[in-house]
Chain A
Amino acid sequence: MTTASTRNDQARAEIMARIRSSLSDVPDTPPEQDTPVAWTYHAATRPDLDHAGVIDLFVERVEDYRATVVRCRTAEVPDRIAAALREHGARSVVVPAGLDGGWVAALGEFEVRRDEPRLSRAQLNETDAVVTASAVSAAESGTIVLDHRQDQGRRALSLVPDLHVCVVRSDQVVTDVPEAVARLAPSVRDEHLPLTWISGGSATSDIELSRVEGVHGPRTLVVVLTQD
C-alpha cells in the first residue's frame, strides 16, 4: 500500500530527477562560479546623509505613508505613548510581556491587558490598542521591522487591535533595506524569529485603483521616535 509518505518520497525523487535532467546543459560548477552576481550586499545607500539626515529621511518617509511620527527624548517616551493613546480615544491597550516597565507604569488611565495568560483572538479584537518596541527601521523605504521579541510581543498583538503605537529608537534606524536585512539576518538564521515589516498602515487600491487606507491591519500607526 502506498502511504502518503511513500508517495511523497516518490514525488520528491521524480521532481529531483526532472530538474536534473532539465539542467543537463548546466556545467557541474559551484553556483557562485557558474553565475556571478555583480552586487555589493549590505551597502549603505545614502552616503550623503549623516545620522541626523537619516532620521529626518525616515520621518519624512513614514509621514508620507500617513502614519504619525512623534519625536521626543527617551525620558519622554512614556508620556508620549499615553498621549497618543488618549488622542485616539483608546481605552484598553495590550502590552507585550517584555515591554519597558517604565512605559507600562505610565498607562494607569487605561485598561492595560497583558498577554499572560495569552489573550484569545476575541479578546484582542476587543482591545483598542497595542504598544510595542521595534527591532530595526529603514529610512529610505520608511519601514519599521518587528522581530517579535519580548518587548514587541507575538505577531497577533500588533495585528488585531486598531491602533498600534510603536517605539523606535534613533540608533535602530539604518538608511535602507540592505542594511536592515543585514541587521536582521542573525535573528532569522540563528533564532528563527519571525519578522513583520511595516511601512505605513494597511491599505488597498483594489477598487478602481483608488487607495483606501486601513483594511485589516491596525488602521492607525503612531511612531514614537527617540532622539537621544
Chain B
Amino acid sequence: MTTVDEVRRAPAGTRVALFATCANDVMFPQTPKAVVTLLERLGCEVVFPAGQTCCGQAFTNTGYFDEAVPVVRNYVRTFRDYDYIVGPSGSCVGSVRHQHEMLGRHAGDPGLAREAAAVAARTYDISEFVVDVLGMTDVGAYFPHKVTYHPTCHSMRVAQVGDKPMRLLQAVRGITVLPLVDDDRCCGFGGTFAMKNPDISTAMAGDKARHVADTGAEYLVAGDNLCLLNISGVLNRQSAGVKPIHLAEILASREGERT
C-alpha cells in the first residue's frame, strides 16, 4: 500500500476548476472541500471560479428548457477557459455532458450549442478525473471502516463513470467494501420525481435503505449527495445507524485525519 508521498502526482501545474454544484455549495460544503483537499494532495492547482451557479438539471428535467438556457450560458461563461472542470456529482456532470448542447440547440443558438459541447467535453466527475486524467486508483487514502456503495443512476447511465468509483474505493487502506443487493436499482430520488410522486419515491427509498441496512455497513457511499440524502433520510428515520458519506470525502481521508 502506498503512502501519500509515494502516490503518483499529476503533471506539475495541472490546473483544475472546481465545479462545486449548487446543492453542495449550500447543503454539503464538506464535499467540495474534500475534493480540494484530495486534488491538492495529488498535485493539482485547484481554483474555484466564483461565477459558477448550477448545471440546471432541475429545470431541464422538469421540462423547463427555456429557464435552463441562461443557467447553461452561465456555466459556459464560467468554465470556458479551463482545461479541466471537476465536480463531485455524477448527475450534474452527466447533465452538463448530455443536456447542455441540446439546450443550446433548443435556444436556437448554434454558437452556444458548440461552446457548451466543448466545455462539457472537459467536465469530469471526480472519480473519472482521478482515474482517467491523473491515471491513478490509489490516492493514498485511509478509511478503516465498513462501507457499502450505491452507484447512482445518473452517474452510471448518463455520466457513465463505470467501475471507477469502485476501483478507487477498493484501493483505500483499511476499508471494507461490502456488496449491496440490487445496487443498480434507483433510490427513488429522481429530482422533482420525489416531490411529484412522493409515495412511490418513498417506497423505492425504503427498499434501498433496507438493502443498505442489511449489509451491516457503517457508511453508505455514493457520488451524489442528494441521492445520499434521500436514502440516509429513510435510514435515519429507521434509526439504522448507517452514516452517509460522499466518495470524495473518503478519498480525501488520511491516516489520523478526517476532512
A adjacent to B, CB under 8 Å: no
